[in-house]
Amino acid sequence: MSETKPRLSHAAIDLLLGIVESPSMSIAGAVLDGYHAGAGAELVNAGALQADGFEPVAVSQADHDDAPVSLVWDGEKRRHGYFSPAAGMVAVEDRALLRFRLQPAWLLGWIAGELGFAGVMRPVELVPDRLWDLGDIWLGDRKSEQRRTAIYFARRIGETGAILRARNALQSRAGRPPGVILVSSPEIVADDSAMMTTTMMPIARCAKAGVVEFFLDLGFIRSAVHGVKSIRPRDPVQVDAEFRVVRVGEREFRFGGDKQRQVVAYLYAAWGRGEGHVSVALMFSELDFSESTRLRDLFKGNSGWKDLIGYKDGACWLRCEELLNGSQVSSD
C-alpha cells in the first residue's frame, strides 16, 4: 500500500524557502525551536531538515538581551553552557545546540512531486549549488491544452552575477521546450531577469490560493510560460481563459489567487459591456464574498494590481483606457 506524504503548510514553505536562501542551507536548533517550532517540526518530520553537527554559540537565556554567547563545557553539570554575570553558569540544552541542514535531494524531489513528475527524476546541476535542470513535464488540464515545459530550479538568484551564470548555463540547453526557472528568492531583480529567455518565477508566488496546505498552481505556471490564449484575440486587452494573465498593450499582469481572478473576470466583463465603474459592494455581493472583504486585502502581495484596477469612492474599474492611452496611472 502506498503511503501518502503529509502536505506542508504555507508557514513551513516560507521557512523552507528562507533556509534555501541562506548560504549553507542550514538553521540553528535554537532558532528553529524558539521562532519556528510548528513549521520546523513539519520540515523535520518530512525529512527536509536533518541534524548536522552542533553550533559553537547560543542565544543568552539569562540576561534578556538575545545576544549570542560563546559556549564552554560545564564539567559539573556535564553539559555545555555559558557564564552570565547575573546568573552564573547557565546550562544549554543539547537540542538547542543542534544545527539542522536542508537536504538538496529532498528539496528537488519535493519540487518534482509538486509538479507531478512521474517516475525517477534525474536532475542535472547546471551551476554548482545554484541551478538545476529537473527535466520536462506536460502542463495543462486538458490534453488539447497541454504544453511540454522545461523545469529548472535556482537558489540565491539575487547574488551578484547569478543570473548571468544561469543564462550562460542555459545556452547549453538550446532546443529545449519553453521553460520556467522556479526560484527560492521572494523577488526577482527586474533589470537582470529581463535578459533571460526562460520565465523566472518565485515559488512563493506560485502557491494555489484558498487552501490551508501549500500546492503549486500549475495552471498559473503554464500561463506564465506559454503565454495567453486570448478570449478576444484582436483586442488590445488580452486575457487567458482563467484570468491568470492580463495584458493591456505592452503591460502584463499576473494573478494567482482564486478570488483575485474572480474580481478581474468580473471587472473585465463590465469593461467589455462598457459599464466603466462598478460598485465594490455590489461586486462582492454578486461574487458571494464576505461583507467585511476589502479590495486591498484580496490583492495583498500583488504589487502591480493598482496599476490595472482603479478604486475611488466605493467603486472600481479596469484601467485599460488609461494604460492604452499612456496616461499616468496613480495608486489611489
- What pLDDT digit, counting tens, does each position of 264-318 carry? 988 988 888 888 799 999 999 888 888 888 999 999 888 889 999 999 999 999 9
Phi, psi values for residue 138, rounded to 5° = -90, 125
Percentage of the chain exceeding pLDDT 90: 34
Per-residue pLDDT at 110: 95
Q: Which residue from 95, 105, 108, 106 is spatially nearest to 32, judged by alpha carbons?
A: 95
Which tops the pLDDT comparison, 141 or 157?
Answer: 157
Which tops the pLDDT comparison, 49 or 219?
Answer: 49
Task: With a cut of 70, say whether residue 179 has pLDDT above it.
Answer: yes
Beta-carbon contacts of 165 under 8 Å, excluding residues fewer than 6 positions away, are 127, 130, 131
Task: With a cut of 60, say whether residue 4 has pLDDT above it.
Answer: no
Task: With a cut of 50, say whether residue 105 has pLDDT above it.
Answer: yes
Q: Which residue from 11, 233, 218, 263 is spatially nearest to 116, judged by alpha carbons?
A: 218
Q: Which of 65-69, 83-87, 174-178 has the lowest mean pLDDT?
A: 65-69
Separation of alpha carbons 227 and 281, rounded Å: 33
pTM score, whole prediction: 0.66
Percentage of the chain exceeding pLDDT 70: 77
Which tops the pLDDT comparison, 323 or 143?
Answer: 323
Separation of alpha carbons 30 and 71, rounded Å: 13
Per-residue pLDDT at 146: 82
Q: Are 55 and 98 in contact (CB under 8 A)?
A: yes
Q: Are 309 and 267 in contact (CB under 8 A)?
A: yes
Task: With a cut of 60, say whether residue 58 has pLDDT above it.
Answer: no
**Position 280, amino acid:** V
Per-residue pLDDT at 202: 92
The alpha carbon dihedral of 199, 205, 211, 214 has a sign of positive
Q: Are 225 and 139 in contact (CB under 8 A)?
A: yes
Count of CB atoms situated within 10 Å of the CB of 200: 22
Per-residue pLDDT at 192: 55
